Chains A and B, each alone.
Chain A
Amino acid sequence: MSVLTIVENWEGNFKKTSFESVSYAKKIAEKHKTNLTVISFGSSNMNELANYGADNIINIENTSCEKTPNSLIAKICSKIINDYNLETIIVSNTNFGKSIAPLISEMADTGLFSNAVEQPVETAPLTIKCKAFSGKAFAQYESSYKKNIITILPNAIGQISEIKGEGEITNFSNTDIEDDNKLKIKSLDKTNEKISLTEADIVVSAGRGLKNAENWNMIEDLASELGAATACSKPVSDMGWRPHSEHVGQTGIAINPTLYIAIGISGAIQHLAGVSGSKNIVVINTDPEAPFFKAANYGIVGDAFTVVPKFINALKNHNN
């Protein structure tokens, strides 16, 4: 079995999810005593990939994750998969990974596992446990395809381990693959300058209990004290208190950080669906009967407007 990872960078810098998928793929490669190949698009820091186990790094020249249409990226990857006869392909289930994986699956005729949460249970036939029902359950799939793509759920597979690989770089220049889909990328506005929600280790989230948009200052302060990303419940983004990109839950972004702090959120089933994969949950709510307490590890029954400032102070003291 030969193993490939396709990694993502933004403006040349690899994302944490890229190291996660290299590390996941390396474990599979080691199990099969084979090399790990990595495809990277126009990054200059490719040696970093070797620290997590990349043996062969294929650098696709004159492309970038931001500016090259997904369909062209998928065509290039499919060609390499066929040329090198690569069988197990790992991609992170980020927006980028989600977009290219099904395209490649069709082009290279592979099985497709979405949102894997662990290493394969079985490798022949390939069997993997994946997230289902927006986190309310898991489904274990079995594939009898020769080639398979696995998208892994960001933040779910545990420790990223540093296993040194050879890190030999080959340049691939794309002169003969054309994209006839005529999708022209016109502009890119970068809104997520802060820590990205799906990658964040700690997420501070607030709900309708906060009463209005101005009260988010203390949430931002708490988040910055913890180095956390911020999130919110659905009604909060519906009312325009926070951007839609922060809405977590069944119909929003699904996250599984190591720590999720929910402030003034009742814990409706649709909210829990998107956050129940969090390893630790802290709930701050005035209502002791709020359903969220049943899904939490730690809880404070109290008013957010007094508890949060105290919490920030206690963290400041702890950090000093």
Chain B
Amino acid sequence: MNILVCISSVPDTTSKINFTNNNQEFDTNGVTFIINPYDEFCLTKAIFLKEQSSDPLNCTITVLHIGTSSSDPILRKALAIGADKAVRIDQVPQNSKVVANNIFDYYSKNSFDLIFCGKESIDYNGGQVPGLLAAKINAPFINGCVGLELKNNSIEVKREVDSGHEISECNLPAVIAGQKGLVEEKDLRIPSMRGIMTARTKPLQVINSNIEITETFKITTNSKPVERSECKIIDEENIEKLVDLLSNEAKVI
């Protein structure tokens, strides 16, 4: 079985978000980049599937990233966690269409049974790439996936829908947009010393992109939310005051 895990590189969740160049660009100054958290759940699930398969040696996990060499550390980390192979397509991930086109190009030249993406990147929160990709491949798309079980040549999947959970079944290949639930937080792996050492011997392949960068969809400017005015502290002995403020000042109750 061949599993593809698409990973994006995002600012660490503790990052303060600032912009430079007249609000045109994200300020990377002092920001640490990490594997998008949703993608890490997917990678761990892929490792579980490999470990549980009847023939682990015939199961390959490839992590794929579209980006510049600044992302190589997160690819190394993915290898140290347990991916067999990392591939970076050397192109600026201009927009979701460019990313999806690159992934599709790579998918078409190789063969994969399962394609994992995170349900969204925590930077621009598009949640676009997996759906675009599924439509390109014309494969089943399981968005917001919180459970997956392999059954011969099909999978049973559980996902979050607006009213609760949906269980469905589909054939492979399939595109999974995953999140926590595929595996739990405690299952996430911290790279061991051995993992880090063996990662050095695993391939990190850099390939050129065949996709043309288009400017058909782009960010023109960024901004930050307006600061909240000073917090009004209300004495707990005078809680009626809070009710009054919520009712007459904020007008929300």
Residues of A bordering B, CB below 8 Å = 8, 10, 15, 66, 69-71, 74, 94-96, 98-99, 101-103, 105-107, 111-112, 114-115, 127, 129, 131-145, 180-192, 196, 201-202, 226, 238, 244-245, 250-251, 254, 258-259, 269-270, 273, 276-277, 279-283, 293-302, 306-307, 310-311, 314-315, 317-318
Contacts and interface: CB of A to CB of B under 8 A. Distances in A.
Given A96-B161, A181-B140, A140 B128 contact: no
B19 interface: yes
12 contacts: A70-B141, A111-B217, A112-B217, A115-B125, A138-B222, A184-B169, A184-B170, A186-B156, A201-B252, A238-B185, A300-B233, A300-B242
B96 interface: yes
Nearest to A129: B223
Interface in B177-225: 180-181, 185, 215-225
A307 B239 contact: yes
Contact of B128 (A112, A226, A277, A281): A112
Contacts of B232: 297-299
B253 A315 contact: yes
Given A70-B141, A95-B160, A186 B167 contact: yes
A307 B63 CA distance: 50
Contact of A188 (B135, B142, B166, B245): B166
A138 B223 contact: yes
A300 B239 contact: yes
Interface of B: 11, 13-14, 16-17, 19, 37-38, 96, 100, 122-132, 134-136, 138-144, 146, 156, 160-171, 180-181, 185, 215-225, 228-229, 231-236, 239-240, 242-243, 245-247, 250, 252-253
Contacts of A245: 160
A250 B246 contact: no
Contacts of B168: 69, 183-186
A186 B135 contact: no
Given A99-B131, A141-B219, A188 B96 contact: no
